[in-house]
Amino acid sequence: MPETVVLKKYANRRLYDTTKSAYVTLHQVAEYIRNGREVNIIDAKTEEDVTAFILTQIVLEEAKNKNALLPAPLLHIIIRYGDNLLGEFFEKYFHQIFQNFVSHKQAVDGQFQQWVEMGLNMSSAAQKSFANINPFQTFFDPFKPSNQEDPHNDDPD
């Protein structure tokens, strides 16, 4: 389980890291999360949990720097149908969809890395024979003229 950092938010909008006894910026909070830590942010005066609000603020600040987070048509839908529809969507579907995307991306990246390593570790003879493999050859065989020699056939008859 990831380590949880408890932060206090003060009225002056400053965030105080209780484990380090120091003030932190939104950028530093984002770095905590990127490094695998969880954050719990409590309003110092009301003791209300304001974690979601501050994390949303971080996302919006990063979007502002990149000039976009979500496409305008999606933002129109969010505003038009309000927070009820959006809240339901995020609670029921978005987390699961995003987790599946991340898992799939990691699996594909890992497979691609294995292919690259396999290609780098092949002997030159193996690379030549691998280069001659055409997965579509049998598909195109019916369209090949009968008098044309197979360029992939190394057998001289």
Query: How many structural domains does the chain have?
Result: 2
Per-residue pLDDT of the chain (157 residues; tens, 9 = 90+): 568 899 999 988 899 999 899 999 999 999 999 888 999 999 999 999 999 899 988 888 887 777 667 777 777 777 777 767 777 777 778 778 888 888 899 999 888 888 887 776 766 666 666 566 666 556 556 655 665 555 555 555 4
What is the structure's pLDDT at 76?
A: 74
**Model pLDDT, residue 44:** 92
Ordered alpha helix ranges (H), the chain:
26-34, 51-66, 72-89, 95-121, 124-131, 137-140
Q: State the Cα–Cα distance between residues 8 and 29, nearest whole angstrom.
A: 12
Q: Are 52 and 59 a contacting pair, CB within 8 Å?
A: no
Both 86 and 104 in a single domain?
yes
CA 37 to each of CA 56, 68, 93: distance values in angstroms, whole numbers, following the listed order:
17, 26, 23
Q: What pLDDT score was predicted for residue 136?
A: 58
Task: Tell me the residue range of the domain where 22 lies.
Answer: 4-66
Statement to judge: residues 60 and 14 lie in one domain? yes
Residue 147 lies in a domain: no
- What is the full DSSP assignment across 1-29? -PPEEEEEE-TTS-EEETTTTEEE-HHHH
- Same domain? For 62 and 81 the reply is no
- Tell me, yes or no, whether 21 and 62 share the same domain: yes
- In angstroms, rounded to a whole number, what is the distance separating the alpha carbons of residues 74 and 15? 31
pLDDT for position 98? 82
- Based on the fold, state whether residues 8 and 60 are members of the same structural domain: yes
pLDDT at 49: 95
Shared domain for 35 and 77, answered yes or no, is no
53 within some domain: yes
Please report whether residue 101 resides in a domain.
yes
Reported pTM: 0.52
Query: Does 59 share its domain with 76?
Result: no
> Does residue 88 sit within a domain?
yes
Residues 6 or more apart in contact with residue 38 via CB below 8 angstroms: 2, 3, 4, 5
Between CA 91 and CA 96 the distance in angstroms is: 9
How far is residue 70's CA from residue 155's CA, in Å, rounded to a whole number? 58
Does residue 134 sit within a domain? Answer: no
Taking Cα atoms as reference points, which of 132, 140, 134 lies closest to residue 148?
A: 140
